[in-house]
Amino acid sequence: MLKKREQYNVAIMGATGAVGTQFLSILEERNFPIKEIRLLASGRSKERKLKFKGKNYSVGVLSHDSFKGIDIVLSSAGASRSKEFLPSAVKAGCVCVDNSSAFRMDKDVPLVVPEVNPREALHHKGIIANPNCSTIQAVVALWPLHRKAKIKRIVASTYQSVSGAGQQKILEMEKQIDVINKSVDNWAVGHHSVDKFLIKEFSHQIAFNLIPQIDVFLENAYTKEEMKLVHETRKIMGDDSIRITATCIRVPVFFAHSESINIETEKKLTALEAKKVLSKAPGVIVVDDPSSGKYPMPLYAEGKNEVFVGRIREDESIENGLNLWVVSDNLRKGAALNAIQIAELLIKNA
């Protein structure tokens, strides 16, 4: 367990990545009680410097000896590195909050969203898993409705930004858009494709396109990303009886994921009742005035901490159904912020 201190020594694994840089930004914004910060990454980032609270810090090369004297590890270095290095961090006495998929479905590792199951964070054995980005925003919106009317079934379609795939994917989309925009001939004939040599990070062109595949396909014809949403939602909400199906799509948006979610509840819940429940829910902002063109969009969720919910309406095809449109910044609430909120829970209960 975390020992009570005035300030804590914090290590960031994957410090130079998209989520790692968000860790730094959010720790500073929230005035997290840090005594020492240790930035860790692969050898490719050796000698890089990152700024935190106005000071430049050198990035160290991640090793099994990187955790001496550290209290809290915030990790977003990928599943393979988490599996390799986090056991060493636990042996060194650290509490680790891991943003990868490495431990999420481990029965001995709590999978935590503070607005949903905060108490689970207190029953760790050195590692706490941070859920997948699409799962986090979904359960923040769904949990209050589940408590009110018990959700029986969820049908989710996600529209996930390229930042969820990492910095290199962002750069690839930028380059593709730039090439297309510079080609007047392409625009004149309505031709928006790029040469194959500009497609390296994604399996297909992402600029001006949608890719209905995130992660690898499994034997059941669903992708790994889709099944993450299924299994993680059940674990976090503590209810294996919920029937869930998902389709995950990569869209040409830089930041913030959007989700169209249809739910069937045990008890009748009107759209008005759902709006009232969600308007009081922690971490949720209801934006739902279609007549004025007000509903959540990724552009306005970017850089914000909340989960935005709109287009709340009753499903006229079934008796107890609701439709929701859920949008959140995947690098903040969908990753770095949620992990830091977990660390804050640990500090509060130390």
The set of catalytic residues is: 133, 257
Which contiguous run of DSSP H or E holds residue 184?
Answer: helix 184-188
The number of C-alpha atoms within 13 Å of 170 and in the hemisphere containing its C-beta is: 11
* Euclidean distance between CA atoms 24 and 12, whole angstroms: 9
Give burial (CB, 10 Å; 0-12/13-18/19+) of 297: middle
- In the chain, the amino acid numbered 181 is N
* Euclidean distance between CA atoms 110 and 104, whole angstroms: 7
Any residues with CB less than 8 A from the CB of 189 and at least 6 apart, and which?
none
- In the chain, the amino acid numbered 141 is A
Any residues with CB less than 8 A from the CB of 219 and at least 6 apart, and which?
none
> What number of other Cβ atoms are within 10 A of residue 302's Cβ?
19
- What percent helix, strand, coil does the chain show, rounded to 5? 35, 25, 40
Query: b/e string for 2-28 if b means 16 or more Cβ within 10 A?
Result: beeeeebbbbbbbbbbbbbbbbbbbbe
- In the chain, the amino acid numbered 70 is I
Assess contact for 101 and 79: CB atoms under 8 A.
yes
